[in-house]
Structure 1
Amino acid sequence: MDETALPGGALSADECAPPAHGAPALPAPAIRSARDASTTAPARSGTERAMGTAQPFRTGTAALLVNDEGQYLLHLRDANKREIHNPGTWSLIGGAPEPGETPQETITRELWEKAELEIPDLVPFVLLEDTCLDGDTKGHIQVYLGRWNGEAATLPLTEGIMLHWFSADVMPRLTMCEWAEEVILKHQADLQCTANSASKDDRAPVVQQP
C-alpha cells in the first residue's frame, strides 16, 4: 500500500518531522509504518529483522479517526478497572480480536459494537508493540487511520465514559493513554512532513527548456 495515499497525508515514520503543535517530546515509540504492518507479509524491513518476525502477533486494534477540522476522536476509558488497559485515560477506540478474525475484521466489529460506527475506508497506519495485562505476553496493536465527521456526543457508546473530538494541542491537558498520544504525535509529524514537502515543491525553480 502506498502510504502517501493515507488520509491526512501520512508518510512512513522515518520521513516525519517533529510535531508542530508544541507538545513535549516523548521517547521514541515502538512504531512501524503501515507498510511493515501489512498482513500480506512484504519484504522484511530492518525493524522486522531486529524483532525476528515478519508477521507480528496482534493482540489488539485501534482506530485513529480524524475529522475535516483536524481533530481526533478520543475515547475516555473507565477508571478503577484493573481488568482493562490504561483505565481512566483518553485513548483510541478499538479492542482485541476474536478467534479467527483478521485485524481489519476486528476493528470493523469493535467500532460497530462500541459506537455503531461504520468507517469504510480504514487503512493501516502504524503497528505498536504491546504488553498484555499479565505483564509478560508481548504482542502488537494494529492502528488504522480513517476519516469521520459526525457528532461524537450522539454515538451510542457501549463501553467507557464518552467519546469527544480534540485537537492535538489539547493533549498536554488531558490524561492521555501513552501509546495513543504517540500515535497522534506521529500523525501530526506526518502532516508537517507533507506540508514541508509541498512547500519545497512550490519553491522549486522552473527550468526553462532550450
Structure 2
Amino acid sequence: MPPTRSHIRATIESYLDRHPQETDALAGLFALLDGPTEPTSRATLPGHITCSAAVVDRNRRVLHIGHKASGKLLAPGGHVEEDRTLLAAALREVCEETGLRPGDLCLIPQFLGAPVDIDVHDIDAGPAGGEPPHRHFDFRFAFYLTAAQPPQLTPRQEEVSCVRWFALADVRSPTLRAKLLDAEAHGLDGRPEPVNASALIHDGNGRYLLHLRDHRDGIWEPWSLALLGGGREPGDADLEATLRRELAEEVPGLEPTGLTPYAVETATSADGLTLPVQVYEGRWSGHPDSVDLREGVLLRWFTVDMLDRVRLSSGLGSLIRRHAAEHPTPGGPRTKGTPPAPRRGEGVPSRGAELHIVGVHLFLRDDDGRILLGLRHPDSAYGGGRWHMPAGHCERESAVACLVREAREEANLVIDPAQVEFVHLVHHAGPDDTRPRLQLFFQAHAWSGTPEVREPDRCLEWRWWAPESCPAELVPYTRTAIADILSGRTYAQRGWT
C-alpha cells in the first residue's frame, strides 16, 4: 500500500508549522488530497506527489544526478510506489538511482523525518511515455552521509548519466537551496549526531530494566527486548528532554534519578537508516508492574546472566555487559562476565603475579591485499585520532567469540569462527600504574558484509589501506603487529624494560 492520506496530510502540516508562509502555495496539494484519486499515483493528473532526497556530506555538499529523461541535474528522487511513508519513498529512490544503501544515510537533527522542502513544479509532456504535461508536488527529505568520505556510487545506468556533488550555494533547485542555506546558518554541518535517546535503567544491584517491543509492521526491531526511549521531536530542547518525554509517554510513573549521558550507540531504523542513539544511564528500583506501560508488551528486570537466553535489540547485550563490568555490585548477585570472588587458595594469583587485560584484534585483508583500519574518535580514551584495527576487550568469553562480537558491533561484519586463524601476539606494558596487556591478533579468511561505522563515538570511518601505505597516525603497537604479521613473526613485546 502507498502512504496513507492521513500520513501525507500530517507530513504537510509538520512542514507548514515551519513554513507557514507557503500555505497558499500548497493549496493545490490539499485539493489533491481531498480528491477521489490516489495522490501518489503517476496516473493521477493533472498532478501527483513525488519524493526526492538531499544527501549532504561532511563538506556540506549535496548529491545530484544527471537525469537522462529531462537532461537536468537534480536531487535523486522519483515516483512513490508501495512505500510505507513518504520518507521511505525518498530513501528507496536515492538508493536505487545512486547505489547508496539505507545504512549509508542518517537523519539530520534540524529536519528529522519531516521534509526540508516541498516544491511544486511543472513537468513537460513525455512523448515517449505518452504522458501529457502535468505537475509534481515534490517532497524533499534531507539526509547526512554516515561516513566521513562518500562511498563509491554505482548509478542506475538506464536513468542516470552522472553523479555530481555541489556546494550548498550551488544546489540546482532554488527552493531547496534556500532551505539548506538557512539550515547551514543554524548549524547544518554534515556531521551525524544522535537523534534518538534511550535509558539504561539499573537498580544498582545488577538488574537492568528492559521492555519487550510490539510485533507490528513499522516497529523498530519488533518482538525484541530493548531500552526505553525514542526519537527526538521538533519541540524537544535537547536529547534529555526527548528521553523524559518518551518515558512520560511510554511508562507514566517511572522517573529514574541521576540521568546522565553514558554512551552513543548505533542502531538501524525501521527504514534501514543508520540511527545514532544517545544512551543515558539512570537509577530506579521500583516494581515494573507499579507503572503504566503504554507501549510494548511487558516491562521486566533482567540480570546479565539472563541475556544469552532472550532476544535483544542489536548491541544491547554488549552495552549492558560493559556497564555491568564498570559498575560491579559487591555482595550483590553475580552477573555473567563478573567472576566470583576467589576463595583463599583457589584462583588467587601467586606472589608477584599480575592479572593482564586481553585485547582481541581483527586482521582483515580484502582481495587486493589491503588492510582494514578504523579512525578512532578524537575523544577516545586510547588512540584518539589514530587508525587501528577492529578490536575490543575480551569479556567472559573465548577470544574468537570476542572477535566475532566486536566485528559485528563495530563494523557490521559477520565473521565465520571456523575461518579464523591466530597470527600474532603483542605483549604490551604500559605505565607503571596500568595493567599489562596481551594483544591477540586473528586473521579472518572468510567474512560477509561491508564495513560500516556502528559506534560513531569510537570510530569515525573504516578504510582499506595498502600495507606499504598505512597512515602515519597509526596506533604504535598496531604498526608493530602489521609488520610482524606480514613477515611471519608471531610474537612482539612493547614497553618492557
Range class of TM-score, shorter chain: 0.5 to 0.7
Letter in structure 1 aligned against 2:297: I
Distance in 2, matches of 1:141 and 1:54, equals: 17
**1:55 positional shift:** 6.2
Partner in structure 2 of residue 133 of structure 1: 270
**Residue pair 1:56, 1:139 contacting (<8 A) in 2 also:** no
Match of 2:315, SS? helix
**1:54 positional shift:** 9.9
Partner in structure 1 of residue 256 of structure 2: 119
Partner in structure 2 of residue 179 of structure 1: 315
Match of 1:106, SS? helix
Q: Deviations over 1:64-118 (max 9, x none)?
A: 1111322000101112x12011110111111111114211100011111111122
**1:133 positional shift:** 2.1
Partner in structure 2 of residue 142 of structure 1: 278
Match of 1:65, SS? strand
Letter in structure 2 aligned against 1:124: P
Q: Please state which structure has a larger fraction of its residues in helix.
A: 1
Q: Deviations over 1:32-89 (max 9, x none)?
A: xxxxxxxxxxxxxxxxxx965896422311101111322000101112x120111101
Identity %: 35
Partner in structure 2 of residue 97 of structure 1: 232
Partner in structure 2 of residue 24 of structure 1: none
Q: Please state which structure has a larger fraction of its residues in strand.
A: 2
- TM-score, normalising length from structure 1? 0.62
* Structure 1: runs of 5+ lacking an equivalent: 1-49, 196-210
**Residue pair 1:60, 1:96 contacting (<8 A) in 2 also:** yes
**Count of matched residue positions in the alignment of Structure 1 and Structure 2:** 144
Match of 1:181, SS? helix
Q: 1:155 aligns with which of 284, 291, 314?
A: 291
**Residue pair 2:206, 2:324 contacting (<8 A) in 1 also:** no
Distance in 1, matches of 2:147 and 2:326, equals: 24
- TM-score, normalising length from structure 2? 0.27
Letter in structure 2 aligned against 1:130: A
Distance in 2, matches of 1:67 and 1:153, equals: 15
Partner in structure 2 of residue 86 of structure 1: 221
Q: CA RMSD in A?
A: 2.6
Alignment of 1:45-84 (within 5 A): 52=148, 56-79=192-215, 81-84=216-219
Distance in 2, matches of 1:82 and 1:181, equals: 24
Distance in 2, matches of 1:126 and 1:142, equals: 6
Distance in 2, matches of 1:54 and 1:172, equals: 38
Q: Deviations over 1:174-198 (max 9, x none)?
A: 1111222221021123235xx9xxx
Distance in 1, matches of 2:218 and 2:318, equals: 23
- Cα distance 1:138–1:145, how it changes in 2: closer, same or farther (>3 A)? same
- Cα distance 1:123–1:155, how it changes in 2: closer, same or farther (>3 A)? same
- Cα distance 1:73–1:104, how it changes in 2: closer, same or farther (>3 A)? same
Quick one: higher RCO (CA 8 Å, sep 6+), 1 or 2?
Answer: 1
